């Protein structure tokens, strides 16, 4: 499974981009995105989905020195789950 996660500080909050690609021959069923312990999305996907892509604009708080944790968890049709974590601190 391949995760692509990008984040940029927005005027208010953070702009978050998430992309998940299933392993060959596998399908995704659910993708959950959590920023700083707040759920941004918990998306059930159409049967047979091989990829997921979503942008969250102005998510969460942003400010000088604020630490962030973004966790993306994807579940495959066979029940296996995989996660990716991105951590960063807003510039001072």
CATH topology of domain 2-89: Immunoglobulin-like (2.60.40)
Extended strands (E) in 2-80: 2-9, 14-21, 28-35, 38-49, 51-59, 67-76
Structure pTM? 0.93
Q: Which residue has the tokens 């579940």?
A: 75
Q: What is the DSSP letter of 77?
A: T
- End-to-end alpha-carbon separation of the chain, Å? 34
pLDDT score at 92: 81
Q: What is the dihedral of CA 5, 24, 27, 35, to 10 degrees?
A: -10
**Per-residue confidence in pLDDT tens, the chain, 92 aa:** 999 999 999 888 999 999 999 999 999 999 999 999 999 999 999 999 999 999 999 999 988 899 999 999 999 999 999 999 999 999 88
Domain boundaries, given as residue ranges, for the chain = 2-89
pLDDT score at 74: 98
pLDDT score at 71: 98
């Amino acid at each position: 499974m391949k995760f692509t996660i990008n984040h940029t500080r927005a005027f208010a909050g953070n702009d978050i981009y998430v992309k998940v690609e299933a392993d060959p021959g596998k399908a995704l069923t659910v993708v959950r995105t959590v920023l700083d312990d707040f759920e941004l999305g918990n998306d059930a996907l159409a049967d047979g989905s091989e990829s997921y892509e979503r942008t969250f604009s102005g998510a969460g708080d942003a400010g000088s020195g604020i630490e962030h944790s973004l966790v993306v968890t994807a579940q495959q049709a066979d029940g296996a789950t995989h996660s990716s974590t991105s951590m960063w601190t807003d510039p001072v």
